[in-house]
């Protein structure tokens, strides 16, 4: 399905080499000032060619809005938008028409649909994420009005890990380095590694971390729509994602309950909080008001500039030698995509939850929450 969300819904379309990438955002609250500079700046963070860590393809990726906006604000009706594809080299792909590239989606699309658009990966191209970034940028504008922020950064490339807790990081550094890691020393090591791998014609994966602040308690729909299950699904739907964890996650899963339980206390402002946050801001699938933080693992890009042996659609062996412009590492450009999916998920859950209580329940019964 190419629709994401229940109330705030993004429907996405477009292939790498078709006329355009685009989408429809339905259920967007009315009255959001559509800051198109901000939206374009988010697209620019995703755009290829922004540094020598990414593919050298140049695509302006300018978004055009077609509906749902009046006098600069959203009207509550669906926001249609398109981004034209302008820099496709279809001929690059002519030899690959009947070839199944390793660890790409060529074979599975052919299996599922009996037909596929082979140029640039077709629908499975990373260009599909353009729609996500547009949807996410609008979600961020809405979330900003209610005090919620979402920030992601690269926390691992290959074996180079950023192990410090996010509270010790300076998020203002993220955009200062092309690899989008807020620890500038570690960022330099990552950059060096990516350049080395690139020079070998190889690729490298890693981990993106994300922190969401300002989440009110109460978001999440047990039992199947737990907030972290929705975030996990959103993240795993991003191309190349191989894993998701939140709070203590895989990394601390060996610890004991007495080490990981988050004790409640009354904060200075009178509200209830937790002393630690191994829970990652979510308990029983519902936000508890603490920061939400999670990680997403991304595999190495499947397109190598090395020879690989594969088969074509007749099962015949084929020596694959790709030339052209490709990313050695997906992470720097995936940072805004992770943020976009998180922002849409949280806004959707905010809208699902809003109004649940009022006016059906007595006000005083939620006094201390």
Tell me how far, at minimum, the Cβ of 235 lies from a copy of itself, in Å.
8
Quick check: 271 and 289 in contact, CB under 8 A?
A: yes
Touching a copy of itself, residues 161-200 (CB under 8 A): 197
Among 205, 213, 214, 325, binds a copy of itself (CB under 8 A): 205
Touching a copy of itself, residues 261-280 (CB under 8 A): 261-266, 270-272, 274, 278-280
Among 91, 114, 168, 172, binds a copy of itself (CB under 8 A): 114
Q: Is 345 in the site for a copy of itself (CB under 8 A)?
A: no
Among 204, 210, 338, 346, binds a copy of itself (CB under 8 A): 204
Alpha carbon distance 140, 142 (integer Å): 5
312 bridge partner residues: 99
265 bridge partner residues: 273
Among 66, 95, 170, 171, binds a copy of itself (CB under 8 A): 66
Burial of 74 (0-12, 13-18, 19+ CB in 10 A): buried
Q: Which among 192, 200, 206 has a CA at the least distance from the CA of 157? A: 206
Among 133, 179, 304, 337, binds a copy of itself (CB under 8 A): 304
Touching a copy of itself, residues 28-57 (CB under 8 A): 29-32
Tokens of 263: 């004790």
Tell me how far, at minimum, the Cβ of 85 lies from a copy of itself, in Å.
9
Closer CB to a copy of itself, 172 or 323, in the complex: 323
Q: Is 214 in the site for a copy of itself (CB under 8 A)?
A: no
Q: Is 90 in the site for a copy of itself (CB under 8 A)?
A: no
Q: Is 247 in the site for a copy of itself (CB under 8 A)?
A: yes
| CB neighbour list of residue 134: distance below 8 Å, 6 or more residues apart | 23, 25, 39, 42, 43, 63, 81, 83
Alpha carbon distance 242, 248 (integer Å): 18
CB atoms within 10 A of CB 232: 19
Q: Is 284 in the site for a copy of itself (CB under 8 A)?
A: yes
């Amino acid at each position: 399905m190419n629709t994401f969300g229940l109330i705030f819904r993004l429907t996405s379309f477009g292939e790498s080499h078709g006329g355009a990438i685009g989408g429809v955002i339905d259920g967007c609250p009315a009255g959001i000032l559509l800051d198109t500079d901000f939206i374009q700046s988010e697209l620019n963070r995703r755009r290829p060619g922004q540094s020598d860590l990414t593919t050298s393809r140049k695509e302006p990726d300018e978004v055009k809005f077609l509906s749902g906006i009046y006098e600069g604000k959203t009207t509550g009706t669906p926001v249609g938008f398109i981004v034209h594809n302008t820099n496709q080299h279809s001929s690059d792909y002519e030899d690959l028409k009947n070839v199944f590239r390793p660890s790409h989606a060529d074979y599975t699309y052919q299996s599922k649909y009996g037909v596929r658009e082979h140029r640039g990966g077709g629908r499975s191209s990373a260009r599909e994420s353009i729609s996500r970034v547009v949807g996410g940028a609008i979600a961020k504008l809405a979330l900003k009005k209610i005090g919620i922020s979402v920030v992601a950064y690269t926390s691992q490339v290959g074996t180079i890990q950023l192990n410090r807790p996010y509270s010790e990081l300076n998020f203002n550094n993220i955009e200062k380095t092309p690899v989008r890691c807020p620890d500038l020393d570690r960022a330099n090591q990552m950059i060096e590694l990516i350049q080395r791998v690139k020079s070998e014609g190889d690729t490298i994966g890693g981990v993106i971390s994300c922190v969401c602040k300002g989440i009110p308690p109460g978001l999440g729909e047990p039992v199947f729509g737990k907030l972290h299950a929705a975030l996990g699904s959103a993240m795993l739907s991003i191309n190349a994602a191989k894993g998701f964890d939140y709070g203590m996650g895989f990394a601390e899963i060996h610890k004991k309950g007495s080490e990981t339980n988050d004790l409640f206390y009354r904060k200075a402002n009178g509200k209830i909080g937790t002393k630690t946050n191994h829970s990652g801001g979510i308990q029983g699938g519902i936000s508890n008001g603490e920061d939400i933080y999670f990680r997403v693992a991304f595999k190495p890009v499947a397109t190598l500039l090395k020879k690989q042996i594969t088969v074509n659609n007749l099962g015949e062996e084929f020596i694959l030698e790709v030339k052209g412009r490709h990313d050695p590492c997906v992470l720097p450009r995936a940072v805004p995509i992770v943020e976009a999916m998180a922002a849409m998920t949280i806004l959707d859950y905010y809208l699902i939850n809003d109004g649940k209580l009022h006016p059906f329940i007595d006000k005083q019964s939620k006094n201390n929450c």
